[in-house]
Each structure stands twice: as structure tokens, then as C-alpha cells.
């Protein structure tokens, strides 16, 4: 999809930064509750599977809602949808700190999932409407960097806060941080242009496109393959991110401080990989091979961690490199999705495809939690590696499909 020149073309990095900050808030909220699982478990007397269900419910609701949010973005505009979602997400996490018990947490995490559903369709619509094509690799990379930094900040921030105000107070402060970010974005709303005003308007409103046309977009083979890729990758990635300290502790008796440092290394390594990968993505058209190569390295390193009792420093370094290999693929991954996106359908396609992240994120916590409850930490890492290998297969198949058809964008 060729993006027309915009009146904001001289502010591309401001747009990238604002969207990166908002995406960072979204990812920060992904991990604020999982970071406090040990404290919540002791206080409420629940199992790891029950705790995993909290994040599963959040991502189930997010996945169901994300495609709908994509349609709303395409027809109502990205800014108002983005602001509404962030307000819901921050408010739900704030109220989690006041929840009287586990059932209330379930309800609030469902509300958080509804808020989380807006970010991918709204963010990518704004980036596509504001950023020239030659900078999209960097734009998508900064978007991901913001998310990764949000993930990386959550564990240390939440555990630090919990030392002084408990897990409830920590969640209330996290919600306040979200509202502060919302105020920042609202104050800069004029720069968040999704290009909707410059697109030719359909004859009618939301229902103008025939259902067959909508289906031909969302259920075309490239879009479905992108969706499957996201499901597989998210299941493995979120399983590691939510439970890596618990997996390492159960597998080799790794101390919690070392295991926590390894998780931070994974997230920071992924961030560094994105920083390199976004520059590379703007200089190559072989995005499918970039994805396959990076994930192959990650899968191999996960299997090494599963089968070898590594010294602490070697373990942390290995996990960091695995994260970097994953991060390197992400800007290219986003450009692959863009190639499958017809003009004017950014919100719905990215909303549908990225709901695969929510599906995987919903499956992973309960699956990995049950495996840990049954003392199967090594198999959890094997499962992660198998899922990554399957994602590589999808990426290579997608390349073959794309080579046989003209690009849609």
C-alpha cells in the first residue's frame, strides 16, 4: 500500500516515539500481573494454573475484540479508539489493586483485554498514515522497541514497588502510570494521523463493503498464514516470558534472582535485536528469510537451555542471544503482514492478524502453568522450540505463496 505524502511528514520520529510510548504501556500491562504471581499466589491461595487463567482471559477477550477494533479504526479513526483502549486498560489494572478476591481479578482482566485490543490496529493505521514507506521498517521497529521496553520494565518495576506498597499498591501505581501516558498522547493528538481523511470515502459507511469482499481480505491465504504464524510464535514467546523464572527454577534449581535476570536479559536482548533488525528491514526485500533465520537461532538456543545445566553467566548470555535473534525478525515480520494488506484495510487486517498474538498469549499461560504444576519444566522448553520451528515453516510457506501472487499493497 503506497502512502500518500502527509502534512506530518516532517515529524516522522515524533509520531514513531509517541506510538512507541503507547505500545510500551500496552506491553507493560501485559506483565504487571504475571510479575506479581508469587505474591498473589501466597495472598489469595491460588494455583499457577489459576494465575495463568488471569492472563489467558485477558488475551482471549483481546483476541476476540481485536478484529472488531480494526474495523472501528478503519471507519471511526485510530486516535479515538487508541485513547479509549488505553483508558480501559489503565483503569482495569488500577482496580485490580482494589479487587477483593480472585473472581474480581478475572472480571477486571477481561476488561483489560478489551482495552488491549485496540493497540495493533490503531498503531499500525497511524504509522501507515504518517510515515513514508522508506521509513516503515524503522517505524515498525520503534513500535516493537516500545513494547519490548514495556515488557522489560514491568518485572523489575512491579517487584520493586511491591516491596514498599504490596502487590495491590503496585498495581494501583501501574494504573496511574497508564493514565499519565494517556494524557501525553492526548496532548499530542494532532500528530497521530492515520491518513483516513485523505483516503477516498466509500459510497456508504461500515456496511458498504460486501461481506464477500471482507471475507476475501481476512480469509485470503497470505492473511491466514500470517495469523497462524502469530499464534504459534506468541504461544512460545509468552510462555517463556510469563514463566521463565519458574521454568528455570524447577528445571535446574536456578535461584530466583538469576532466573529473573535471565528473563530481563531475554527482553533486553529482544530489544537490541529489534534495533538492528529495523535498520536491516529497510534495506532488504527478503523479509521471510530474515524471519526464518532468526527464529532458527532462537529455537536451537532454547533446546540448549532445556538440555544443558548452564552456569549462571552462560545461561543469562544464552537467553539474551535467543531474545536478540527473535527481536531481529520482528520488523521484517510486520512488513510481511503489510505486503498482505490491501489499501484502506490496515486496521482490519492488522487487527485480525495480530489477534493471533492474543490467541497464542491466551493458550500459553494455562498450558505452561499446567505443565509446571505437573513438574514438566524441560518439556515446556521443548514445546517452545517446537512451536518456533512450526512458525519457521509457516514463514517459508508464506514466502512461496507470496512469490506466486502479486502484492496487495
Spatial CB neighbours of 200, under 8 Å, sequence gap ≥ 6: none
Residue whose grid cell is 494524557: 183
Helices 48-76, 346-373: axis angle to 10 degrees equals 180
C-beta of residue 237 within 8 angstroms of C-beta of residue 363: no
Q: Locate 103 and state its grid cell.
A: 473472581
Q: What pLDDT is stored for residue 407 in this prediction? A: 44
Enter the DSSP assignment of 4: P
Helices 287-307, 377-403: axis angle to 10 degrees equals 170
Spatial CB neighbours of 136, under 8 Å, sequence gap ≥ 6: 127, 128, 282, 335, 338
Identify the H or E element spanning 317: helix 312-339
Rg (CA), the chain: 20
Spatial CB neighbours of 1, under 8 Å, sequence gap ≥ 6: 128, 338, 341, 342, 343, 346, 408, 409
As a whole number of angstroms, the distance between CA 62 and CA 121 comes to 12
As a whole number of angstroms, the distance between CA 314 and CA 242 comes to 21
User: What spatial distance separates the first Cα and last Cα of the chain, rounded to whole Å?
Assistant: 3
As a whole number of angstroms, the distance between CA 286 and CA 334 comes to 13
Q: From first to last of its 409 residues, what are the pLDDT tens digits of the chain? A: 333 334 444 578 899 999 999 999 999 999 999 989 889 988 998 887 888 889 889 988 988 898 889 889 888 888 999 999 999 999 999 999 999 999 999 999 999 999 999 998 999 889 988 887 778 888 988 998 898 789 878 988 999 999 999 999 999 999 999 999 999 999 999 888 877 665 555 444 344 444 445 666 677 788 888 899 999 998 998 888 878 888 998 899 888 888 888 988 998 898 899 999 988 888 877 888 899 999 999 999 999 999 999 999 999 999 999 999 999 998 888 888 877 666 666 677 778 888 887 788 778 878 888 888 888 989 999 999 999 999 999 988 887 776 555 544 4
As a whole number of angstroms, the distance between CA 61 and CA 199 comes to 31
* Distance, C-alpha 254 to centroid of its chain: 27
* Distance, C-alpha 393 to centroid of its chain: 21
C-beta of residue 93 within 8 angstroms of C-beta of residue 112: yes
**Residue 4, Ramachandran bin (φ over 0: left; ψ between -120 and 50: alpha; else beta):** beta
Q: What pLDDT is stored for residue 404 in this prediction? A: 58
C-beta of residue 303 within 8 angstroms of C-beta of residue 316: no
- What's the pTM? 0.75
Q: What is the DSSP string of 59-84?
A: HHHHHHHHHHHHHHHHHH-HHHHHHH
Amino acid at each position: 500500500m503506497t502512502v500518500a505524502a502527509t502534512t506530518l511528514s516532517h515529524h516522522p520520529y515524533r509520531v514513531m516515539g509517541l506510538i512507541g510510548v503507547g505500545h510500551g504501556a500496552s506491553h507493560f500491562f501485559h506483565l504487571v500481573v504475571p510479575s506479581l504471581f508469587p505474591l498473589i499466589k501466597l495472598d489469595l491461595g491460588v494455583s499457577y494454573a489459576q494465575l495463568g487463567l488471569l492472563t489467558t482471559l485477558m488475551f482471549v477477550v483481546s483476541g476476540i475484540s481485536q478484529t472488531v477494533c480494526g474495523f472501528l479504526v478503519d471507519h471511526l479513526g485510530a486516535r479515538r479508539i487508541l485513547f479509549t483502549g488505553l483508558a480501559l486498560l489503565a483503569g482495569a489494572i488500577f482496580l485490580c489493586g482494589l479487587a477483593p478476591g480472585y473472581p474480581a481479578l478475572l472480571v477486571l482482566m477481561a476488561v483489560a483485554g478489551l482495552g488491549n485490543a485496540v493497540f495493533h490496529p490503531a498503531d499500525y493505521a497511524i504509522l501507515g498514515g504518517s510515515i513514508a514507506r522508506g521509513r516503515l521498517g524503522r517505524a515498525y521497529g520503534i513500535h516493537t522497541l516500545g513494547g519490548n521496553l514495556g515488557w522489560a520494565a514491568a518485572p523489575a518495576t512491579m517487584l520493586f514497588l511491591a516491596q514498599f506498597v504490596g502487590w495491590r499498591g503496585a498495581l494501583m501505581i501501574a494504573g496511574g502510570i497508564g493514565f499519565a501516558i494517556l494524557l501525553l498522547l492526548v496532548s499530542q493528538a494532532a500528530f497521530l494521523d492515520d491518513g483516513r481523511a485523505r483516503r477516498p470515502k466509500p459510497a456508504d459507511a461500515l456496511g458498504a463493503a460486501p461481506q464477500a469482499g471482507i471475507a476475501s481480505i481476512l480469509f485470503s491465504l497470505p492473511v491466514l498464514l500470517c495469523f497462524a504464524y502469530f499464534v504459534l510464535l506468541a504461544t512460545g514467546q509468552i510462555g517463556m516470558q510469563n514463566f521463565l523464572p519458574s521454568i528455570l527454577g524447577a528445571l535446574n534449581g536456578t535461584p530466583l534472582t538469576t532466573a529473573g535476570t535471565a528473563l530481563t536479559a531475554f527482553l533486553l536482548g529482544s530489544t537490541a535485536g529489534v534495533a538492528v533488525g529495523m535498520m536491516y528491514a529497510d534495506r532488504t526485500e527478503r523479509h521471510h528469510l530474515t524471519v526464518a533465520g532468526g527464529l532458527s537461532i532462537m529455537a536451537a538456543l532454547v533446546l540448549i537451555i532445556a538440555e544443558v545445566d548452564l552456569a549462571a553467566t552462560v545461561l543469562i548470555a544464552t537467553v539474551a542471544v535467543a531474545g536478540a535473534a527473535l527481536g531481529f525478525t520482528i520488523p521484517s515480520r510486520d512488513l510481511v503482514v503489510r505486503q498482505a494488506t490491501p489499501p484502506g484495510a490496515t486496521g482490519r487486517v492488522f487487527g485480525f492478524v495480530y489477534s493471533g498474538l492474543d490467541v497464542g498469549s491466551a493458550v500459553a499461560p494455562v498450558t505452561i502453568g499446567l505443565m509446571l504444576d505437573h513438574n514438566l519444566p524441560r518439556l515446556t522448553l521443548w514445546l517452545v522450540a517446537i512451536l518456533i520451528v512450526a512458525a519457521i515453516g509457516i514463514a517459508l510457506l508464506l514466502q512461496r505463496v507470496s512469490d506466486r501472487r502479486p502484492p496487495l499493497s
